[in-house]
């Protein structure tokens, strides 16, 4: 009787489907949503990517969200994760660089001197779309540019702050805002907008995208991180307008 019961129990459990290992989970800055999808496709593995504002993602990781790898748009947030023991410090490295541009809807004319008068004239009663200036990296970089060029006090009242840079981009693409400040790669990815002024890189902190493995990372995530650093992935990033900072053959 006992042997028969053991056999029944064994058969019952062996009939259960195997529990699949969860896919590699990546938390990534919203500005990477186009290019990272292509990188994941090239990887040919199972990767789940959650996109959002870097500040929000960093706070979620610090609270224990099930992410294996985090790729942000601002080194300060990654430094914060290191300080809060949420990522492995020895895996942290700057992966990419980017640029800021002033954008208008498709068909807008380029401008050579975005003076305050010129910006306000284009805005009219509309607003300047940017990421949230207190937490979204693109918004923080944009604010630094506006402050360093003496434009901040004149446009602060006319900002449309978005929870991530892709939402700010969409405001201009849908002609809900006549101007926006986004990454050059965002403008390149959206045919309904046009970069009308290249913001000087010395007018704001250098734009860097740091990457790191979280302290809860699964072993396969290390292989995906290695792929992100590969020449193959770097070629994809470059094709989308990013500047790869590290590439291993």
CATH of the domain at 23: 3.40.190.10
Residue 162 sits in the same domain as residue 75: no
CA-CA distance, 173 to 195, in Å (whole number)? 12
- The answer as to whether 112 is a domain residue is yes
Residue 135 sits in the same domain as residue 160: yes
- The answer as to whether 187 is a domain residue is yes
Q: What is the DSSP letter of 73?
A: S
Residue 58 sits in the same domain as residue 132: no
Residue 42 sits in the same domain as residue 9: yes
Residue 42 sits in the same domain as residue 105: no
The CA angle 219-223-225, to the nearest 5 degrees, is: 105
- The answer as to whether 79 is a domain residue is yes
CA-CA distance, 217 to 240, in Å (whole number)? 28
- The answer as to whether 236 is a domain residue is yes
Q: What is the DSSP letter of 178?
A: S
Domain encompassing residue 58: 2-97+209-244
Half-sphere exposure of 65 (CA within 13 A, CB side): 17
pLDDT tens track, the chain, 249 positions = 444 444 343 444 344 444 346 789 999 999 999 999 999 999 988 999 999 989 999 999 999 999 999 999 999 999 999 999 999 999 999 999 999 999 999 999 999 989 999 999 999 999 999 999 998 999 999 999 999 999 999 999 999 999 999 999 999 999 999 999 999 999 999 999 999 999 999 999 999 999 999 999 999 999 999 999 999 999 999 999 999 997 554
Residue 175 sits in the same domain as residue 221: no
pTM above 0.85, yes or no: no
Count of the separate structural domains present in the chain: 2
Residue 168 sits in the same domain as residue 231: no
Which of the listed residues 188, 203, 218 is the one where a domain comes to its end?
A: 203
Residue 91 sits in the same domain as residue 106: no
- The answer as to whether 249 is a domain residue is no
Residue 179 sits in the same domain as residue 119: yes
């Amino acid at each position: 009787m006992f042997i028969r019961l053991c056999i029944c129990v064994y058969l019952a459990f062996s009939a259960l489907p195997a529990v699949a290992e969860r896919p590699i989970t990546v938390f990534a800055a919203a500005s990477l949503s186009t290019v990272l999808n292509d990188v994941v496709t090239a990887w040919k593995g199972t990767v789940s990517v959650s996109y959002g504002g870097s500040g929000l993602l960093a706070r979620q990781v610090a609270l224990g969200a099930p992410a294996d790898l985090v790729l942000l748009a601002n080194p300060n947030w990654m430094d914060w994760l290191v300080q809060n023991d949420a990522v492995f410090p020895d895996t942290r490295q700057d992966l990419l660089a980017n640029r800021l541009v002033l954008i208008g809807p498709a068909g807008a004319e380029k401008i050579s001197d975005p003076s305050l008068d010129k910006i306000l004239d284009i805005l009219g009663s509309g607003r300047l779309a940017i990421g949230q200036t207190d937490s979204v990296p693109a918004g923080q970089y944009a604010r630094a540019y506006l402050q360093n060029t003496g434009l901040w006090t004149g446009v602060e009242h006319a900002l449309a702050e978005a929870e991530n840079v892709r939402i700010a981009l969409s405001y201009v693409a849908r002609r809900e805002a006549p101007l926006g400040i986004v990454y050059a790669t965002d403008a390149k990815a959206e045919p309904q907008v046009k970069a009308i002024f290249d913001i000087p890189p010395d007018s704001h902190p250098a734009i860097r995208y740091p990457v790191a493995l979280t302290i809860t990372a699964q072993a396969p995530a290390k292989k995906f991180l290695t792929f992100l650093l590969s020449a193959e992935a770097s070629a994809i990033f470059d094709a989308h307008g990013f500047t790869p900072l590290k590439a291993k053959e």
